[in-house]
Structure 1
Amino acid sequence: MNIEFATEADIDYISERDKHLARTLIPTKIMAGEIYILRDSNQAIGWMRFNYFWDNTPFMNLIWIDEPYRGQGLGKDVVLHWEEQMKERGFQVVMTSTQSNEEAQHFYRKLGYVDVGCLLQEKDPLEILLSKKL
């Protein structure tokens, strides 16, 4: 498995699966180097995208692994890869979030993330904010 920056060739793959990001924003995020693609034998099998919380703290927005590849540690691999990249860029802290009814909160805590706050929006489960010192 390889982890690399997404390219314009990945737009359709991401757009078909990412229901939280408008297709028109994908090229901008690709050009900014804010989407990693996971590949197995040159075939896209997942991605991770991020942005910056408060414009200064790397914030992981979403990890997606195609169903046949789940449960193999690829999510952990891409998170650790991203963390290392952010550390190399001089960041000391990274963040992410997950809803309180999602299992992802346990995944992030196992990777060393700690709860730092929450957000409650009408009609949505509690959003847990998590942070990790690099």
Structure 2
Amino acid sequence: MLRLPEGKAKADKFYVGFWNNSKLVAVMDFVYAYPDEETIFIGLFMVDQAYQGKGIGGQIVTEALAYFANNFRKARLAYVKGNPQSQHFWEKQGFKPIGCEVKQALYTVVIVEQSLGD
């Protein structure tokens, strides 16, 4: 959660908690202007297991993307290849593969993005 993409500073990374009364139900982190000035990068999105499958994650993403559309033209993220739950969720949110996969030490990630404000 502390790692930053090359060329980005701590000031470019933000964490947002989503609450239901006093219960933290989801967390998202994002990096402003990465990999370019027109793109917001979602680095992490986790929804409490008790709230999964109820549409809350999709609602959070929809509202976050609407907010990001004020300043960015695209949203981008990566999910672990071979994780059908993540792939299905992000495809349902309108994210599409850009044809780039990045091999990490233990896994490969699929890069996906979505245009904002269309």
Q: Does the residue aligned with 2:82 lie in a helix, a strand or coil?
A: coil
Structure 2 equivalent of residue 71 of structure 1: 53
Write the distance in 2 (CA, Å) between the matches of 1:51 and 1:101.
24
Q: Give the percent of matched residue pairs that are identical in Structure 1 and Structure 2.
A: 21
Q: Could you give the per-residue CA deviations for residues 89-117 of structure 1, whole angstroms, max 9, x where no partner exists?
A: 2x111101101121211211111111011
Q: Which runs of 4+ in 1 moved over 3 A?
A: none
TM-score normalized with structure 1 length: 0.69
Structure 1 equivalent of residue 23 of structure 2: 43
Question: Taking structure 1 as reference, are residues 120 and 87 closer, same or farther at Cα in structure 2, changes over 3 Å only?
Answer: same
Q: Which structure has more RCO (C-alpha within 8 Å, separation ≥ 6)?
A: 2
Mapping for residues 118-129 of structure 1, pairs under 5 Å? 118-122=101-105, 124-129=106-111
Please tell me the residue identity of whatever aligns with 1:67.
Q
Which of 79-88 and 42-51 deviates more? 42-51
Please tell me the residue identity of whatever aligns with 1:111.
Q
Write the distance in 1 (CA, Å) between the matches of 2:40 and 2:62.
13
Structure 1 equivalent of residue 91 of structure 2: 109
Please tell me the residue identity of whatever aligns with 1:108.
W
Task: Tell whether the 8 Å contact from 2:80 to 2:108 is kept in structure 1 after alignment.
Answer: yes
Structure 2 equivalent of residue 6 of structure 1: none
Task: Tell whether the 8 Å contact from 1:98 to 1:129 is kept in structure 2 after alignment.
Answer: yes
Deviation at 1:54, TM superposition (A): 2.2
Question: Taking structure 1 as reference, are residues 105 and 119 closer, same or farther at Cα in structure 2, changes over 3 Å only?
Answer: same
Deviation at 1:55, TM superposition (A): 5.0
Task: Tell whether the 8 Å contact from 1:51 to 1:58 is kept in structure 2 after alignment.
Answer: yes
Structure 2 equivalent of residue 5 of structure 1: none
Judging by fraction of residues, say which structure has more strand. 2
Question: Taking structure 1 as reference, are residues 32 and 125 closer, same or farther at Cα in structure 2, changes over 3 Å only?
Answer: closer
Write the distance in 2 (CA, Å) between the matches of 1:97 and 1:33.
16
